[in-house]
Chain A
Amino acid sequence: MCRLALKTASTPFSPFTVLTAMEAMQEGYDGSGLGLLLRGLKFSDYSYQAADPILSGIAHSEAALHRLNEFMQSQGYELKYDHEFEVDFAKIEAKDRFRYFLRVYKFPKPVAKMAQEQREQAMLRLRLTLRRNGEDHGGDLTVFSFWPDVATIKEVGWPMGVGEALGLNDNRIKSRVCMAQGRQNTNYGINLYACHPFFIQGIATMTNGENTAFIPIKEWLTGVGVEGYLGYQSDSEVFAHILHYVTKVLNLPLPVYKHVITPLKTEELDKHPQGDFLKGLRNVCRRLIIDGPNAVIGTLPDETCILTMDHKKMRPATIGGKPGEWAMASEICGVDAMIPDRDRSLDFQPMRENTIVVPPHRKEFEIWSQFNPCPLIQAA
C-alpha cells in the first residue's frame, strides 16, 4: 500500500518533516521506494533565483555524469549551483548510484527570450532527451525533472533511511511545498521512473491505490500526440498527465480535473446547472476516467496544492493545519506528524465529490464540490 504526505507552508521547511510523516505511516508500505518533490526552494549555501531551472536526477556512472555535463554545455545551459548531497552510500540499497544531482542552471539566451509556452516545451524536450540518453546507455542516467523551482529526489528503500542516506536532515535544503510518497509501484517492476510523484511541465501528482483503468488510459494518452506522455512504468503516472492535459492542453480550469477523472453520473448531471457541457466533456474525455481506489495529491507551478478522491472514496486522505501551513496525508497520523500543533477538529476528509485546494496564499483551504457549478467553464 502506498502512503502519501504533502506539506505546504509559507515558511520553507526541511523535507525531513515530511519524512517523519512517512515514518508515522510506516505500517502501510513496504519500503520499496521514496519519492520527494520540492517546490519553493531555499538552499542554505546558495541564493536561488526561482526562475532558474533545476535539473534533478541520478547519474549511475561517471561516464553518465560526463555525458550530462557535455550535453548541458552543448545546449548552452550554464551551471550556477550544484547541490552536493552528503551521501552515505552504505545506507543506499542500490549499488549503482554514482551521483545524485540537483543542479541549478541558467537558461541560454535564446531559451530565455522564448515565450513562456515555448520555453516550457524546450525544458520538456531537454528532460526527455536526457532521459532517452540514459535509456540508450543501459539506464545509466535517470532524470526526474527539469523545471524552475522544482527538485525531485527518488530512491529505492525506506523513506527515513533514504532521507538519512542523502543527508536530508541537515537543513541545507528547504522548500515551501514538499510531496512525498512511500512505496513506488503497485503492480509493475521496481524502477526509479515508476516512483511517485510524477512530473510533467511543472505539474506533479502522486497517488495511493491502484489505477485499474490504466491500460486504456495509457493507450489513449500515448496516441494523443502530446510530447512527454510516455514512460508509464507506473499505472499512476497517468494522473499527472491527465492533470497536465486538462489544464495545459485543454486549458480548462482546475475544478474540471475532477469532472474528467471521476465524472458524475448521468442522473446527477441531469440536475447539474452545467450538466449538458459536463456530459459532453464526459463523453469526449471518457478514456481519462480513472477507476481505482485512489487519493490523488497534486501540486501546480504556482504552489497550489490539490487533493481529490476516486469516485467511491475508497481511499482515505486527510487535510489539516493552520493558516500558512497545511498538510495532506493518506493517514491522519501523517498529518499529525507534520503539523502536530493544529486544531484537529478542523481536519477535513474529502468525500467522493470533493477537490481540496490549498491556494498559494495558504490562508485557508477550499473545498470544491462537483455538484456546484464551475464558474470558469464558460470562459473556457
Chain B
Amino acid sequence: MVSVQSLPVNPSSLTYHDLPWIVQHREDRCTLCGRCTSVCPTNSIYLTYRRQRMPKVGLTPTTPALDQRGSAYRTFMGIRQNTDLTRRCIGCGMCAMVCPNEAITPTPNPNDPRTPFINNQKGEPYTRGGRRNDRNSLLDRIAFNRISMLTDPALDAGRHEFSCNTILGRVLPPQEFLRRQAAGEWIPPTREIFPFIIGSMSFGALSPNMWLGLLQGVAYCNEVLGIPVVMCTGEGGCPPWVLKSPFLKYIVLQIASGYFGWDEIIRALPEMQCDPAAIEIKYGQGAKPGDGGLLMWFKVSKLIARLRGVPEGVDLPSPPVHQTLYSIEESVMKMIQTMSMAWNFKVPVYPKISGSTSAKSVLNNLVRNPYAGGLLIDGIDGGTGAAYNVSMDATGHPIASNLRECYLDLAAQGRQNEIPLFAAGGIGKNGNVTQNGMAMIMLGASGVHIGKYIMQAASGCLGNERNRCNVCNLGICPKGITSQNPKIYRRLNPDDVAQRVAETFMSIRTEIKKIMAPLGRSQSLPIGMSDAIAIGDKDVAERLKIKYVC
C-alpha cells in the first residue's frame, strides 16, 4: 500500500479522463515526427520517453536458477496528454490535421468531465471565446410549408429572376416620402443590401489576414457576383487604407462604448472616397449582454495598438455602457444624430442591442427618432471573441421570440416598413444558415447578421457547439483567424478566405431562391411572411404566432 501523502493529488488534480477532450494516440502508427506537438495551440500534448518494466518471473518447472529472475526494461516513446488545466486539450484537432499517419485525434470525453468544477482557479471564473455551446436551434426546426400548389405554376429557382435584397435604413411612410419629395426635404438614406450580413467582428479580434480575406471576398461578391454583401467592422476601427478606399461602401463601421479606432476614422473623413454602408452603434451584444468588448492583451499587437490609439500589450476592456451618456433614450438620440451629421445625413445609422425583454422599449424609442436607420437585435446564441463563460451560456434572450415581438409591435402600428429589424445570434449555428436566416426573415427580420458561421464557413474556424477550441480570447487560434501573432496568422491565406466568402454567399443566394420559389415569392424578400413557416411545437407556434404542424 502506498502512503496517501505520497500520492500527487489535490482538489484540482485531473487525469486525462477528467478532461473534456481525450487525446487518442496510436503508437503503432506514430512516426514521432512531432508535428502534432508543435502545432498544438495549448501545448497540451508532448513527446515523451517512457520506461516499462518487464519482470522476469521464473515460475515454471523449466525455470532456471533464482538469480536469473529480475526485471528487464523496455523503452518506448509517444505522445502524452497534459492534465494541467491551463494546458488541457481543447479539441481543436489540429494534431489530427497535421498527422501524416492518422495516429492522433482528440475525442470528446463520453463521461462527464470534471473541469467545470475546477476551472475557476485563483478565483477567476472560466473565460473563453466562441459560442454558447448549445446545439439546440429553434430556427433549425422551422420549416417552410406554404407551398404554392393550388394555382401557381411553380417558380424555377434556377431560371427565374429573384429579387433577394433588403433595405437598410429608415423608410418613410409613403405619404411623408411624397411630401418631402415634393418639398425637396431630406429623405433618410437607405442601402439595398444582401440580407445576410457579415456581423461585427473587430479588427483586433480577427487577424489581419482574416480581415483582409473577408474584405476581398465581400468586394468580389459586390463587384463580380452582384451580391451586395456588407460587413461590419465591430469595435476597433478599420485600417486607414480601407477607410480611404472605394471598398468602404461595403463596410458598416461600428462605434461602441470604448470608441476604439474612431480617432483614425474621424481623421480619415476628409479623405474618404465614398460613404460607408452604415454606422452601427453597439449598445449590447447577444453573447455577453452587459459587457463591453474585450480585447485581451495577447492580441494587442503593434498594428492593433496603432489602430486603436493605445499602448501595445494591454487589455482593452470597453465599458458596458456608453459612459458619457445618461440613458439609452438620450444616448440613442445624441449618438444617432451625431453620427448622421458626421456623414452629412447620407449614411444610415442604427443601434445594436442585446436581445432582451426590454428590446421593445428601445424599438419604440427608435420609431420616434427620425434619424434612426434600423435596429439590430443580437440574441443569446451570438458569439464573441472573449467573455465569461456564464455570460455566454446563460445571459441573454433568444432571438426568435424577441424579434418576432418587435416586428408584431411595429406591425400593430403600421410601421413595419419603416424601421428595418435585423437579427443576429445563432443564425446557422449548426450549418443551416439560409434556413435559419430565411426563417428569421419570415418572422419579420429585414436581414440577419452572421459571424460565427462566416468564420466556420469562410476561414475554417474549428469551433463548434460542443466547446471545441473556443480560445479566440487567447490569441492562439490554431487556424490564424483570431490571432495577432504573425507566426500563427500566416497559416491563413487571405485569398483562400476570399474565395470561401464568395462561395458561401453564392450558395446562400441559391438556397434563398430554393426557399422562395416553392413559396411563390420572387419579387421581394418575404419579410414577415409568417404564413409560410411552421413548427412542430405548439408552444413555440403560439408564442411566435406561426402555424403548428405535425
A32 to chain B, nearest CB (A): 12
Q: How far is the CA of A149 from the CA of B192 in the complex (A)?
A: 45
Q: How far is the CA of A222 from the CA of B414 in the complex (A)?
A: 7
Residues from chain B with a CB closer than 8 A to the CB of A223 are 411-416
Nearest 7 Cβ contacts at the A-B interface: A223-B414, A212-B520, A284-B177, A215-B531, A216-B528, A291-B523, A289-B524
Whether A127 is near chain B, meaning CB under 8 Å from some CB there, is: no
Whether B171 is near chain A, meaning CB under 8 Å from some CB there, is: yes
Give the residue name and chain of the B residue nearest to A380 (CB).
B178
**B530 & A262 in contact (Cβ 8 Å cutoff):** no
Report the stretch among A53-61, A192-200, A275-283 that lies at the interface: A275-283
Residues from chain A with a CB closer than 8 A to the CB of B172 are 284
Known: A220-B416, A223-B414. A290 touches B182 (CB 8 A): no
**A214 & B171 in contact (Cβ 8 Å cutoff):** no
Q: How far is the CA of A38 from the CA of B365 in the complex (A)?
A: 49
Q: How far is the CA of A209 from the CA of B163 in the complex (A)?
A: 20
Residues from chain A with a CB closer than 8 A to the CB of B187 are 280
Known: A266-B192, A283-B167, A312-B160. A212 touches B524 (CB 8 A): no
Q: How far is the CA of A222 from the CA of B410 in the complex (A)?
A: 12
Q: How far is the CA of A214 from the CA of B529 in the complex (A)?
A: 8
Contacting residue for B163 out of A186, A219, A265, A293, CB 8 A = A265
Residues from chain A with a CB closer than 8 A to the CB of B174 are 245, 250, 281, 284-285
**B520 & A220 in contact (Cβ 8 Å cutoff):** no
Residues from chain A with a CB closer than 8 A to the CB of B530 are 215
Known: A220-B414, A285-B174, A291-B522. A209 touches B151 (CB 8 A): yes
Whether A350 is near chain B, meaning CB under 8 Å from some CB there, is: no
27 inter-chain pairs at a CB distance below 8 angstroms, sorted by A residue, are: A1-B151, A186-B150, A186-B151, A209-B151, A210-B520, A212-B146, A212-B148, A213-B521, A216-B526, A216-B527, A216-B529, A220-B411, A223-B414, A223-B415, A225-B414, A250-B174, A265-B161, A266-B192, A281-B177, A284-B171, A284-B172, A284-B173, A287-B417, A289-B524, A312-B161, A312-B522, A314-B153
Known: A219-B411, A220-B411, A286-B417. A210 touches B167 (CB 8 A): no
Residues from chain B with a CB closer than 8 A to the CB of A281 are 174, 177
B278 to chain A, nearest CB (A): 15
Chain B proximity mask over A170-208: 1 for CB below 8 Å, otherwise 0: 000000000000000011000000000000000000001
B175 to chain A, nearest CB (A): 6
Q: How far is the CA of A223 from the CA of B148 in the complex (A)?
A: 26
Known: A210-B150, A311-B523, A314-B153. A286 touches B414 (CB 8 A): no
Residues from chain B with a CB closer than 8 A to the CB of A286 are 167, 171, 417, 524
Residues from chain B with a CB closer than 8 A to the CB of A311 are 522-523
Whether A346 is near chain B, meaning CB under 8 Å from some CB there, is: no
Known: A215-B528, A250-B174, A277-B181. A284 touches B523 (CB 8 A): no
**A212 & B152 in contact (Cβ 8 Å cutoff):** yes
**B151 & A249 in contact (Cβ 8 Å cutoff):** no
Q: Which residues of B contact A (CB under 8 A)?
A: 146, 148, 150-153, 155, 160-161, 163, 165, 167, 171-175, 177-178, 181-182, 187, 190, 192, 411-417, 519-524, 526-532
Contacting residue for A291 out of B153, B161, B417, B524, CB 8 A = B524
Residues from chain A with a CB closer than 8 A to the CB of B160 are 312
**B523 & A213 in contact (Cβ 8 Å cutoff):** yes
B525 to chain A, nearest CB (A): 9
Residues from chain A with a CB closer than 8 A to the CB of B192 are 266
Contacting residue for A290 out of B519, B523, B528, CB 8 A = B523
Q: How far is the CA of A265 from the CA of B164 in the complex (A)?
A: 11
Residues from chain A with a CB closer than 8 A to the CB of B152 are 209-210, 212, 292-293, 314
Q: How far is the CA of A37 from the CA of B526 in the complex (A)?
A: 33
Give the residue name and chain of the A residue nearest to B172 (CB).
A284
Whether A224 is near chain B, meaning CB under 8 Å from some CB there, is: yes
Residues from chain B with a CB closer than 8 A to the CB of A209 are 151-152
Residues from chain B with a CB closer than 8 A to the CB of A252 are 178
**B190 & A212 in contact (Cβ 8 Å cutoff):** no
B527 to chain A, nearest CB (A): 6
Q: How far is the CA of A99 from the CA of B224 in the complex (A)?
A: 66
Whether A162 is near chain B, meaning CB under 8 Å from some CB there, is: no
Whether A2 is near chain B, meaning CB under 8 Å from some CB there, is: yes
B237 to chain A, nearest CB (A): 30
In chain A, positions 245-264 with a C-beta closer than 8 Å to chain B are 245, 249-250, 252, 262
**B524 & A213 in contact (Cβ 8 Å cutoff):** yes
**B151 & A210 in contact (Cβ 8 Å cutoff):** yes
Residues from chain B with a CB closer than 8 A to the CB of A312 are 155, 160-161, 522
